[in-house]
Amino acid sequence: MNEFSKITKPTVITLCGSTKFKQQFEEAMANLTLKGNIVLSLGFFEQSDHIEVTEEQVKLFERLHFHKIDMSDEIYVINVKGYIGQSTKKEIEYASQNGKKVTYFEPLT
């Protein structure tokens, strides 16, 4: 038995939310990692960093993100000032339908 076999499996969490909230994503990633979780996030923040993407790339990113949700135990929604866009709503619905826990950056009002 090695030292790692004594460690309980960490929770895997996928961050979901608008790419305009880069700072909040980074804050959540740091906080959740410091609590011992494995955190999956976005590859980049096209809105925050003003990166243009094609419609084909948008569809690719959506598929990749759903696969990240499949790999996760839960999702953590970055809902700054209550904002939850259409893509994030689909991710919440997908996660819920697949038995994933859903938590939020800010309390729901």
Domain housing 59: 3-13+23-104
In a domain, 51, yes or no: yes
Split at pLDDT 50, 70, 90, the class of 44 is: confident
Query: How high is the mean pLDDT of the chain?
Result: 91
Number of domains in the chain: 1
In a domain, 95, yes or no: yes
pLDDT at 42 (0 to 100): 86
Give, in order, the Cα–Cα distances in Å from 86 to each of 5, 16, 38, 57, 93. 41, 11, 26, 17, 11
Looking up residue 76, the CATH number of its domain turns out to be 3.40.50.10400
In a domain, 82, yes or no: yes
Residue 1 has pLDDT above 60, yes or no: no
In the chain, the percentage of residues whose pLDDT exceeds 90 is 70
Q: For residues 46 and 17, which has the higher predicted lDDT (pLDDT)?
A: 17
Q: For residues 93 and 48, which has the higher predicted lDDT (pLDDT)?
A: 93
Question: Nearest CA to 15 among 105, 107, 81?
Answer: 105
In a domain, 59, yes or no: yes
In a domain, 37, yes or no: yes
In a domain, 18, yes or no: no
What are the tens digits of pLDDT across the range 48-81? 667 788 889 889 889 999 999 999 999 999 999 9
State how far the Cα of 28 lies from the Cα of 34, in Å rounded to an integer. Answer: 10
In a domain, 109, yes or no: no
